[in-house]
Structure 1
Amino acid sequence: MDKFLWLIPALPLGGFLILAFAGKYISRKAVAIVGAGSICLSALVMFAVGGAFLSGMPENAVYTQTLWTWFEVGDFNAKITLSLDALSLVFVFAITFIGALIHIYSTAFMEADRDYARFFASMNLFVFSMLVLVLADNLLLMYLGWEGVGLCSYLLIGFWYEQPANGAAARKAFTVTRIGDAAMAIGLFMVFQQAGTLVVSEIGANASAIWQPNSTSVTITALLLLAGGLGKSAQLPLQTWLPDAMAGPSPVSALIHAATMVTAGVYLVARMHTIFALSETARLVVAVIGAATLLLAGLTALTQYDIKRVLAYSTISQIGYMFLALGVGAWTAAVFHFMIHAFFKALLFLAAGAIIESLHHEHNMFKMGGLKDKMPVVFWTFLAGAISLAAVPLVSAGFYSKDQILWYSWSAGGGNAVLWAVALAGALITAAYTTRMMILTFWGESHTPIGHLPGRRMTMPLVVLALFSVFAGFIELPHNFGHFTLFSDLLHPVLPETFMKENIPSEWLFQLLAALATLGGIFLGYYYYYQKPSRIENLRRNGLVVQLHRFWFSGWAFDALYDRMLVKPFIYISSINKKDITDKLYTGIAAITGDMYKLLSRTQSGSLRWYIMGLVAGAILILGIQIML
């Protein structure tokens, strides 16, 4: 089946080309069939290729298919080669399967939009670019997909470009992620300069021979690669673009957060784990950034009114958990949480989109309420995603994936008590803002009348994702739950075993503490937003609480800080420099050209006598020159 590997990215690319060139000339039904059908076919091919791959493991742990040579320069040649191993299979599964559900949902959600074909063309290109990123066997081809998802995020975040705020959000996402991309490009140059190759498998096999453990060169290389991941995955200090990215349609938000762009940084660090494993400093930086991000974003989510911004900050926080796991060396735990997060975050965004559309595009949770009985399918599916996000013990997939990270943040070789305490606090905060979101949206009095209920094309993907959000966690049980480790066994040929400390306390104790943190967060949300909402009003009269709320609501004032330190100085310098010597040179050339035009235009008087005189004078001049010669 490896010979069909190319079809997985080719089908979305084909859908993009058809819609880009012929989308204006075909019916909306045909657009939906091409747009959603190409991704569904890609998912079917993925299941066939993935099934053959799994049945052949571990004897055939990698599928490789070289399509053509991209270019050759001296001894360097770059090939369009696709490579499928256990790690990329997990990501391809999430991209195609969840992407297919999002596309089916979109056929109904975007049905009334005038740019129906442009939307699906951009979505198909998004999926294609992400598939190239995770299937590339070399870092140069990966970088092509990396930049492709950046382009598509710009196209889709600013999809409704008539509104200036949407265009500004798209430009912000493109600019902020470009900072990380530039650092990553330098990192790729360093990898090639030191390793002599960009082929991922060759780098992984020879990493210990190329770099000395904890050397300056390996640390700098790892940190440059990390910078690229921080930009795409919206981690500190490059997290500011993602909340504003909610300007795009809800299916775009689901695709970005669950299956494509935001997860690219997690994939990059996991894929290049052999480099990070050689630098304790780089791993510590990854873990600290992840821990700080999950705490900062969680507290910010507690203060938001817009349901999509709550989910956006939630994504930043959950990706922070994945970076924390990567930093302590719990590679498989990070990838496991990625997969579970993809299910419940896609579900939550799609359900939120259904709510927003039904309530006449209302985003403010305080203007919702009373939807539990009016939208039962959306309520129960949203609840499934919410309990998984909050990691409710035993009954949610999110519990099993997040429990691993909490456990390893203490017990893994790179873990410690501080990282564990931050992760535990994040679990309590996550449960609190999730409960707040559920109560404000579905309980209490109705503040906005329902326009229309979502149809089957929108609810069917919600039901499928809800089932996975509840039951997918059972493929990887904790050590003390029978140690059923299907997921770790799958990734073992690609990612190393997590190094555990010796003489660690019982895992039962840590699970009990994690469960208490989750239940405590649920209780706080229930108490303050359902049982005693008057307490919130009392808190709002406290000046310190008001200032703290304002600070958290602004995303810890990062936008204001960057605006003051970077944006305004750049604009000021540009305004001074706009008439420098270079501009004067080109302005002078333009002025001379203009003057010559005016001079030559005088010869076009419209008088026939002057034209004849000019011809005669020219003829006499030419004859005179010839006689003289």
Structure 2
Amino acid sequence: MNELAYIPALPLLGFLVLALGGRRMSQKAVAITGAGSVCAAALLTMVLCGQFFGSGAVGAAAGHASPASVHYDLQLGQWFHAGALSISFGLRVDSLSLVFMFIITFVGALIHLYSTAFMRGDRDYARFFACMNLFVCAMLILVMADNLVLLYLGWEGVGLCSYLLIGFWYDSPANCLAANKAFIITRIGDTALLIGLFLLFKELATLDIAAILRQSPGHFRLGSPVITLIALLFLAGGMGKSAQLPLQTWLPDAMAGPSPVSALIHAATMVTAGVYLIARMHVLFQLSPLAMTVTAITGALTLLVAACSAMVQTDIKRILAYSTISQIGYMFLALGVGAYGAAIFHFFTHAFFKALLFLAAGAVIESLHHEHNIFRMGGLKDKLPVVYWTFLAGAASLAALPLVSAGFYSKEQILWYAWRAANGGTALWLAALAGAVITAFYSTRLLLVVFWGEAKTSVSSRPGRLITIPLIILAFLSLTAGFVEWPHNLLPVHLFSGFLQSVLPAPATRSGGETIGQLLAVMATLAGIGVGYQLYHRQPEIGIITRWQQRPLAAAIRNFLFGGWGFDRLYDTLFVRPLVSITRLNRADIFDQLYVAVVRAARTGHRLLSASQNGSLRWYAVGVLMGILFILTLLL
């Protein structure tokens, strides 16, 4: 399986060509290199999927073969060897990593095609595609690595690329601040993950993923403090990259980057890295009931907090950013209750409809003179019909419109497991159900305000084919991708969970109540859509919203939610201002003074010694004679 290496190597090659020679290339050549390398990686991934199915994965998923035997390995050479630690450049592909590879390359290829038109005319066209290619390469390394050190290399790579792309338009100080914020906050989680790697190696003397998953059940006692600490450190790492409470504040500000960057970060890379890490290392979490509970609670709280903030935002991209935080919260909730397959299934469907929504939002923004405020839009249903219908498909999937959208099938599964899984409970289910109502509400609000009503900004341009074709493909998948996994009581179609069962265990569940749970989920979605339709279409000006905003308490609540629940102000008060005050007090850094003293002593010694070099032969002879006498004195 030497072709495994070509999948991450092609985007890496594109990055090297564009980074070294992009300035001397035409925009057409840059587009072919940047988008072509990722499209080629997507084609190779599809070929690999065909080989994977042909090698027995389909039979394993159906229970006709040993599912644990289906994987591919490739060793590219030794990286380093230090004591008991031996790390190689090794790749391992199984059903879990293959799902992520498909999303990264396929959705990434559509985003790159879209970007060839969206970024046309930008002065840093080549730099943009160089960073995008490196982003895809780093994420592929992360999900294909067979050891945690190589995984961590990809983990830091996506962090670096996010910094470069969020601050891509660096002329604006706000963009630079957003890039710095993303880089610094995610470093908190990265540091926790690194400490977790140290502890894991101390316990098992290996960082090979397969060896860790094999040895951990026999080495760690269930619920022991060590395994709990390791699992919580891994969770902290995932919380940073996937923007979960309390490390979620960087993601809304990350909208400073171009719209294709937002789509890539939210749909195919970076924010899903934490989901992959926890799913990949699920054995460690299963050995720590506390870590599982913390994961589920973190997801439940995050999906509610972010959903509440999304429903009052006015920037179209910030609405989608908070929506991403909320949907990743659903994935963490599923991981915490042991429904690993459901979490990955929601990742699968979410990638299509969230990439679609961000790319469609970018098309709207470009068509309206770079306008971001949804209340300055409106009336676009007939002026941008392709964007409208594709956006409608994405919004329907985000809202989990029953039976006709992919988001319904994946979210319904999470709701079911949150209620009936052994690690689930009524409180988690109620949180997820409330989040479903709010999600349907703000999805409806977003669609109606942007595309219906009166036009408030004229359309300056209409998107071309390179922008609309990716939208159409993603819209089709946003509606149909969920048909590979149906609820147990509707159709016996479980292709996705069967495909993943070779890697991820099925959760233990309590029987009964599935039909009732589905009806309540459907009612929650329809209720959110109905409320949004009533408030923002039937009576947008004279209804409850206007009267509600005029009340001081209601306005204060709205501002509180609009500001992300005050997390930025809290962190500014607790961490940023005290640190700035300390740095001001220590402006003349005491440690710098120590180094300055060393330098001054060296310079003084140099001047004293250089005084002896006066060019007089007699002085040199006296010096030699004194040296000889000193040595003889020591000898005697």
The answer to whether residue 343 in structure 2 is matched with residue 346 in structure 1 is no
With over 3 angstroms needed to count, the CA separation of the structure-2 counterparts of 1:29 and 1:617, relative to structure 1, is closer
The answer to whether residue 182 in structure 2 is matched with residue 173 in structure 1 is yes
Q: Which residue number in structure 2 is paired with residue 516 of structure 1?
A: 523
C-alpha distance in 1 between matches for 2:74 and 2:4: 7
The answer to whether residue 332 in structure 2 is matched with residue 323 in structure 1 is yes
The answer to whether residue 480 in structure 2 is matched with residue 471 in structure 1 is yes
Q: Which residue number in structure 2 is paired with residue 618 of structure 1?
A: 616
- Aligned to 1:81, the other structure's residue is in SS state strand
The answer to whether residue 524 in structure 2 is matched with residue 525 in structure 1 is no
C-alpha distance in 2 between matches for 1:289 and 1:44: 37
| Worse overlay, 49-58 or 171-180 | 49-58
AA in 2 matched with 1:493: S
Shift of 1:619: 4.6
The answer to whether residue 17 in structure 2 is matched with residue 18 in structure 1 is yes
The answer to whether residue 127 in structure 2 is matched with residue 128 in structure 1 is no
AA in 2 matched with 1:46: T
- What pairs with 1:585-624 in structure 2 (closer than 5 Å)? 585-589=594-598, 618-619=616-617, 621-622=619-620
Q: Which residue number in structure 2 is paired with residue 68 of structure 1?
A: 77
With over 3 angstroms needed to count, the CA separation of the structure-2 counterparts of 1:194 and 1:594, relative to structure 1, is closer
| Worse overlay, 404-413 or 590-599 | 590-599
Of residues 563, 566, 569 in structure 2, which corresponds to 1:557?
A: 566
C-alpha distance in 2 between matches for 1:218 and 1:624: 72
- Aligned to 1:5, the other structure's residue is in SS state helix
- What pairs with 1:100-119 in structure 2 (closer than 5 Å)? 100-119=109-128
Shift of 1:620: 5.4
Is contact 2:39–2:105 with CA below 8 Å preserved after alignment?
yes
Shift of 1:214: 1.3
AA in 1 matched with 2:25: I
C-alpha distance in 2 between matches for 1:422 and 1:148: 34
Q: Deviations over 1:292-343 (max 9, x none)?
A: 0000000000110000000000000000000000001111000000000000
C-alpha distance in 1 between matches for 2:330 and 2:94: 24
AA in 2 matched with 1:618: S
Q: Deviations over 1:373-392 (max 9, x none)?
A: 00000000000000000000
Shift of 1:590: 5.4
Shift of 1:576: 1.8
Is contact 2:419–2:429 with CA below 8 Å preserved after alignment?
yes
Q: Which residue number in structure 2 is paired with residue 611 of structure 1?
A: none
C-alpha distance in 2 between matches for 1:233 and 1:458: 27
C-alpha distance in 2 between matches for 1:207 and 1:590: 52
Shift of 1:621: 3.7
- Aligned to 2:489, the other structure's residue is in SS state helix
C-alpha distance in 1 between matches for 2:468 and 2:203: 52
Q: TM-score, normalised by structure 1?
A: 0.95
- Aligned to 2:314, the other structure's residue is in SS state coil
C-alpha distance in 2 between matches for 1:414 and 1:73: 40
Q: Which runs of 5+ in 1 are unaligned?
A: 604-613
Is contact 2:367–2:461 with CA below 8 Å preserved after alignment?
yes
- Aligned to 1:585, the other structure's residue is in SS state helix
Q: Which residue number in structure 2 is paired with residue 609 of structure 1?
A: none
With over 3 angstroms needed to count, the CA separation of the structure-2 counterparts of 1:443 and 1:594, relative to structure 1, is farther
The answer to whether residue 102 in structure 2 is matched with residue 93 in structure 1 is yes
C-alpha distance in 2 between matches for 1:617 and 1:403: 91
C-alpha distance in 1 between matches for 2:448 and 2:375: 10
C-alpha distance in 2 between matches for 1:256 and 1:436: 24
Q: Which residue number in structure 1 is paired with residue 632 of structure 2?
A: none
C-alpha distance in 1 between matches for 2:201 and 2:296: 26
Q: Which residue number in structure 2 is paired with residue 3 of structure 1?
A: 2
Shift of 1:357: 0.7
C-alpha distance in 1 between matches for 2:625 and 2:476: 98
With over 3 angstroms needed to count, the CA separation of the structure-2 counterparts of 1:617 and 1:418, relative to structure 1, is closer
Shift of 1:278: 1.2
Of residues 360, 371, 374 in structure 1, which corresponds to 2:383?
A: 374
- What pairs with 1:283-322 in structure 2 (closer than 5 Å)? 283-322=292-331
- Aligned to 1:212, the other structure's residue is in SS state coil
C-alpha distance in 1 between matches for 2:554 and 2:624: 96
AA in 2 matched with 1:47: M
C-alpha distance in 1 between matches for 2:135 and 2:621: 69
With over 3 angstroms needed to count, the CA separation of the structure-2 counterparts of 1:595 and 1:319, relative to structure 1, is same
With over 3 angstroms needed to count, the CA separation of the structure-2 counterparts of 1:331 and 1:615, relative to structure 1, is closer
The answer to whether residue 411 in structure 2 is matched with residue 402 in structure 1 is yes
Is contact 2:334–2:343 with CA below 8 Å preserved after alignment?
yes
Shift of 1:625: 5.9
C-alpha distance in 1 between matches for 2:505 and 2:214: 13
Q: Which residue number in structure 2 is paired with residue 48 of structure 1?
A: 47
C-alpha distance in 2 between matches for 1:110 and 1:599: 63
Q: Cα RMSD between the aligned structures?
A: 1.9
- Aligned to 1:79, the other structure's residue is in SS state strand
- Aligned to 1:72, the other structure's residue is in SS state strand
Is contact 2:84–2:205 with CA below 8 Å preserved after alignment?
no
- What pairs with 1:347-496 in structure 2 (closer than 5 Å)? 347-496=356-505
With over 3 angstroms needed to count, the CA separation of the structure-2 counterparts of 1:591 and 1:625, relative to structure 1, is closer
C-alpha distance in 2 between matches for 1:473 and 1:428: 20
C-alpha distance in 1 between matches for 2:269 and 2:590: 45
C-alpha distance in 2 between matches for 1:615 and 1:101: 72
Q: TM-score, normalised by structure 2?
A: 0.94
Q: Which residue number in structure 2 is paired with residue 186 of structure 1?
A: 195
The answer to whether residue 51 in structure 2 is matched with residue 29 in structure 1 is no
Q: Deviations over 1:491-549 (max 9, x none)?
A: 011000111124x32x1111111111111101111111111112211111111110100
- What pairs with 1:539-578 in structure 2 (closer than 5 Å)? 539-578=548-587
With over 3 angstroms needed to count, the CA separation of the structure-2 counterparts of 1:212 and 1:599, relative to structure 1, is closer
Shift of 1:190: 1.2
C-alpha distance in 2 between matches for 1:621 and 1:467: 92
- Aligned to 1:449, the other structure's residue is in SS state coil
Q: Which residue number in structure 1 is paired with residue 63 of structure 2?
A: none
| Worse overlay, 474-483 or 225-234 | 474-483
Shift of 1:618: 3.0
Shift of 1:571: 1.1
Shift of 1:228: 0.2
Percentage of matched positions with identical amino acids: 58
C-alpha distance in 2 between matches for 1:482 and 1:615: 95
With over 3 angstroms needed to count, the CA separation of the structure-2 counterparts of 1:459 and 1:596, relative to structure 1, is farther
AA in 2 matched with 1:52: Q
| Worse overlay, 55-64 or 88-97 | 55-64
- Aligned to 1:430, the other structure's residue is in SS state helix
- Aligned to 2:422, the other structure's residue is in SS state coil
C-alpha distance in 1 between matches for 2:20 and 2:571: 40
- Aligned to 2:564, the other structure's residue is in SS state coil
Is contact 2:76–2:89 with CA below 8 Å preserved after alignment?
yes
Shift of 1:50: 1.4
Question: How many pairs align?
Answer: 615
Shift of 1:596: 9.5
